[in-house]
Chain A
């Protein structure tokens, strides 16, 4: 090979120096980064609603889910909206029988956010909701979400039915 070995060496030297610089910068463990999402589940005995649950109008239910985080929980939300157009499905194991597609007239809509006070790593969401008597019956979606202090989010959604 006919390349100049002196130049080659200097190039390699630069490259080595550059690599060392990167390695030395990569090993900064000064900041303890939170890389874990919080978790959320209704899959425990008191968890509510369970997949395909049927809720009656006029009744009051406690919506319960367990949330945990490695560091600090921050906020959670509950969203109940109709699925009369079958636009989506839940992430639970069971698959529910859906009614025919229909137009919404006066569907139930719950959009609520809450903060989790104190630096908690586990918490049970507990939201009492009375299903109004004048809302449309049919297929609904119940979606929970939770964030931690870092800004990671987890969600879960459950297919439910509101009946007479």
Chain B
């Protein structure tokens, strides 16, 4: 290392010893920065000079009559590089390293229209999230990273897990799609987090609005669409290693990925491992109702976790066919806060404070295995897309066994087991018609198998088969005016399995005597649902302004627990009662988006109005079942209105200012909780950020400092059993730079981030631990390095 630094220093020093020379000759070689192999046929172009590299990559430029000469070295498949050679340079042979660039074939195909342009022309209100955004804003979990996007928030479960929320709706009302296949796990669960490796993702499309037309049930509030990665260029090889360390939960994370392609075959692989301890909160005691939990070293005891992910993709690409198969596995284990499980206060003989890194009871572990295949076949003016997927989600929840109600002490810690397999097949045909109509016809088939185990019961075992057909037309009325209209029809067969308690309960008979009965918690039922979805939208582009208006009807099939379960959730002190009369949830939404972008300034507003005809709501009643409050699944009408506003300016080259505001107002307009809001309603929130770009210093390239300040209002709108949450202000700072110590190498991306600078104690209304008065994480310093090779 020392010698390398010395040689860099010497190299720089030699520059400064200068003397004039009238004419000189430049000799050199062009090599690939990735493989160090010589590059043949690279163009070397400068003012009055031209050359091309030979078979061994060498080139020569004669009779340069200036003190220095500059030229550009370019070759197909590599990024161009500007090189300046001074006559006084004591080097007779220069080496030029070209970096390989990987470009998606998609982008080659759509040369006429950029991704941005296509996005603008599509009337659906959506947002593209790039790899750069993900890397610059990376938090502990994918949804925490995405929550910086106005209109997107997250329900966090501790420091390492989160689930998506779009405009205040989450759980099964947001579809997460990866490689064209809907991610299927136990999304309905309060303490379930998204099982997706957040490294190695290049593009995410977020649809903030009803998207059942394209994605069927569950896409009623929006979609987080993790798109397949770009296909690498021919004869390329690239890779990267990401390292992450965090101070708050002593996290260590490493992720490494490679991508390669010979001619037609390509492959990629990635492994990720993360291990973290209990996270720290800026308080030494938690006061929940009349209880006080003293925290050891501010650690929220037993919230440690670990995650190991791996994925491999193999693909083939030729002129008319493109196919990639991806195998991935996500395995995670997370502890839950030890002093209260759900709302239930627990004491234990487990020495939780002995180590902040061990994961004791209660904890959950999950394994999500997924195979997806995406195939595209082009034939004349038709493009056929086939997405096939198989996924298995195995989830276990463990807690210390204690007797509850009539249930004696169970013999194991395995409280709940879910084993869910999902098979998916999506086909669609996209074709042009009259050069003005871009039409898509498609069908989706999905089969789900959900098995349960363990001594607790919340959701019955079930089989579900869904079939949907759809078609839409994007009509280009003129180059600036696009109309999109589409219909979809879905049919669902749901078959739930009966479930009986494994222990008897005492039940009072009519004659005053009592019986010991194995209570039935779920019934054998065959249920059918059908629904029509539709969408109609217009997009109009006027110079720098884009106008979009979209109206849609979306649906969500009731889940098996919503329909048939009569489960006792001891940790939440509630008895959850299903309702066989539930209909498919129907939502109508009007979206408007106006975006105005100029070189120095951009402003956008995206309001929406939404009406649910029959929102499925777990209503806390005033009745009891065996001393547990009965929560009943009911349907009510809901009215929602809200939207996002964002503005950004870069008047000065080195300074960019961004501001965004998001707000949702929701009201139940019928039913038992008429006048109340919906659970987990995100409060009014604004995010201000300033990005200051410095000049290059030493080997820091493009160094920048970003300060982001979040101001969130109090949430006074609550529904039982929620608590009102005070507003808060949090300041985060980060420093980003590329470090290019050795110019022949790819620069290293470095990011230093300080979250919650003032160690502010604040509560997040949509956090899983909010109900037991646990504040959000305290100050956190993180260091992340991305090293490409």
Contact check, B596 vs A151: say whether CB atoms are below 8 A apart.
Answer: no
Chain A, residue nearest B345 (CB):
A88
- In the assembled complex, the Cα of A147 lies from the Cα of B573 at a distance in Å of 12
Task: Return B293 CB to nearest CB of chain A, in Å.
Answer: 11
The reply to whether the CB of B607 lies closer than 8 angstroms to some CB of chain A is yes
Please report the total number of A residues contacting B with Cβ < 8 Å: 54
With contacts A1-B600, A22-B642, A151-B673 known, is A77 near B347, CB below 8 A?
A: no
Given A3-B601, A79-B627, A91-B289, CB of A33 within 8 Å of CB of B594 = no
Q: CB of A123 within 8 A of chain B?
A: no
The 8 A CB mask of B582-622 against A (1 = contact, 0 = none) is: 00000000001010101111010101000000000001111
CA distance A152 to B540 in the complex (A): 49
Known: A3-B598, A4-B543, A91-B291. A147 touches B400 (CB 8 A): no
B627 cross-chain contacts in A, Cβ below 8 A? 77-79, 111-113, 143, 145
In the complex, A122 has a CB within 8 A of chain B:
no
Q: Chain B nearest CB: distance from A35 CB in Å?
A: 7
Stretch in contact with the other chain, from B99-107, B306-314, B403-411, B757-765: B403-411
CB-based nearest B residue for A18? B607
CA distance A73 to B592 in the complex (A): 45
Contact between B596 and A8, CB atoms less than 8 A apart: yes
Residues on A with beta carbons closer than 8 Å to the beta carbon of B624: 75-77, 113, 145, 147
A22 interface neighbour in B349, B625, B663, Cβ under 8 Å: B663
B596/A11 in contact, CB under 8 A: yes
A102 at the interface (CB under 8 A from B): no
With a cutoff of 8 Å between Cβ atoms, the chain B residues found around residue A15 in the complex are 605, 645
Within 8 A of A (CB), among B362-411: 400, 402-403, 405-406, 409
B346, B627, B676, B718: residue with the most chain A Cβ atoms closer than 10 Å = B627
Chain B residues in 8 Å Cβ range of A32: 675
Residues of A close to B645: CB separation below 8 A: 15
Chain A window 73-92, contacts with chain B (Cβ cutoff 8 Å), 1 for yes, 0 for no: 01111110110011111011
Given the interface pairs A11-B605, A145-B627, the reply to whether A2 lies near B672 with Cβ below 8 Å is no
User: In the assembled complex, which residues on chain B have CB atoms less than 8 Å from the CB atom of A148?
Assistant: 622
Contact call A18/B289, Cβ cutoff below 8 A: no
Specify the chain A residue showing the minimal Cβ separation from B626. Answer: A111
- Chain B residues whose C-beta falls within 8 Å of the C-beta of A104 in the assembled complex: 403, 409
List of A residues within 8 angstroms of B620 by Cβ = 151-153
Q: Are B721 and A3 in contact (CB under 8 A)?
A: no
**A149-B599 in contact (CB<8A):** no
Residues A3 and B600 in contact, CB atoms below 8 Å apart: yes
Q: Which residues from chain B contact A56 at a C-beta distance below 8 Å? A: none
B600/A25 in contact, CB under 8 A: no
CA distance in complex: A69, B35 (Å): 75
User: Is the Cβ of A92 less than 8 Å from the Cβ of B622?
Assistant: no
Give the shortest distance, in Å, between B631 (CB) and chain A (any CB): 9
Nearest residue, chain B, Cβ from A23: B665
Contacting pair A18 B403 (CB below 8 A): no
The reply on B744 being an interface residue by CB < 8 A is: no
Residues of chain A with a CB closer than 8 A to B663's CB: 22
Separation of A85 and B757 alpha carbons in the complex (Å): 42
Question: Is there a chain B Cβ closer than 8 Å to A53's Cβ?
Answer: no
Total B residues in contact with A, Cβ cutoff 8 Å: 60
A54 within 8 A of B: no
**Contacts A79-B627, A151-B673; is A87 near B621 (CB within 8 Å)?**
no
B623 at the A interface (CB under 8 A): yes
- The CB with the most chain A CB atoms within 10 A, among B629, B665, B718, is that of B629
Q: Is the CB of B290 within 8 A of A91?
A: yes
Contact B721 A152 (CB under 8 A): yes
Q: A3-B600, A22-B641 are in contact. Are A85 and B409 (CB under 8 A)?
A: yes
Distance in angstroms between the alpha carbons of A75 and B575 in the assembled complex: 15
Is B346 a contact of A111 with CB atoms below 8 Å? no
Q: Per a CB cutoff under 8 Å, which of B345, B623, B665 touches A74?
A: B623
Q: How long is the Cα–Cα vector from A79 to B575 in the complex, in angstroms?
A: 15
Q: Which of B290, B402, B405, B675 is A31 in contact with, Cβ under 8 Å? A: B675
Is B543 a contact of A81 with CB atoms below 8 Å?
no
Asked if B651 is at the interface (CB within 8 A of a chain A CB), the reply is yes
Tell me, rounded to whole Å, the shortest Cβ–Cβ distance linking A2 to chain B. 6
Give per-residue flags for B613-656: 1 if the beta carbon is below 8 A from chain A beta carbons, else 0.
Answer: 00000011111111111000000000001110100010100000
CB distance from A137 to the nearest CB of B (A): 17
For A81, the chain B residues whose CB sits under 8 A away are 403
**Which partner residue on chain B sits nearest A151 by CB separation?**
B620
User: Which of A30, A85, A145 has a CB less than 8 Å from the CB of B629?
Assistant: A145
Complex: how many Å from CA A128 to CA B514? 19
B642: which A residues are within 8 A, CB to CB? 22
Q: Check A88/B543 contact, CB under 8 A, given A3-B596, A79-B627.
A: no
Taking CB atoms, residues of chain A closer than 8 Å to B628 are 77
Assembled-state Cα–Cα distance A8/B545 (Å): 9
In the complex, per-residue mask of A125-150: 1 if CB is within 8 Å of any chain B CB, else 0: 00000000000000000010101111
Q: Is the CB of A86 within 8 A of B665?
A: no
The digit string for B561-573, where 1 denotes a CB below 8 A from any CB of A, is 0000000000001
B674 contacts the other chain (Cβ, under 8 Å)? yes
Closest to B289 in A: A91
List, in ascending order, chain B residues with CB within 8 A of A78's CB. Answer: 627
Q: Complex: how many Å from CA A7 to CA B603?
A: 10
CA separation between A37 and B628, bound complex, in Å? 16
Q: What are the residues of chain A within 8 A of B607 when measuring CB–CB?
A: 14, 18, 21
A109 within 8 A of B: yes
Residue of B nearest to A147 (CB): B622
Inter-chain contacts of B349 with A (CB < 8 A): 86, 101
- The answer to whether B720 has its CB under 8 Å from any CB of chain A is yes
Asked if residues A33 and B675 are in contact (CB atoms below 8 Å), the reply is yes
8 pairs across A/B with beta carbons < 8 Å?
A: A11-B545, A15-B645, A22-B642, A35-B724, A75-B622, A87-B348, A91-B289, A91-B290
Given contacts A3-B544, A82-B403, A113-B627, 20 further A-B contacts (CB under 8 A): A1-B601, A1-B651, A7-B542, A7-B543, A11-B596, A11-B605, A21-B641, A25-B641, A31-B674, A74-B623, A77-B628, A85-B409, A87-B400, A91-B289, A92-B290, A111-B406, A145-B624, A150-B622, A150-B673, A153-B629
Top 9 A-B residue pairs of the complex, sorted by shortest distance between their CB atoms: A31-B675, A74-B622, A91-B290, A113-B624, A77-B627, A151-B620, A3-B598, A79-B627, A147-B622
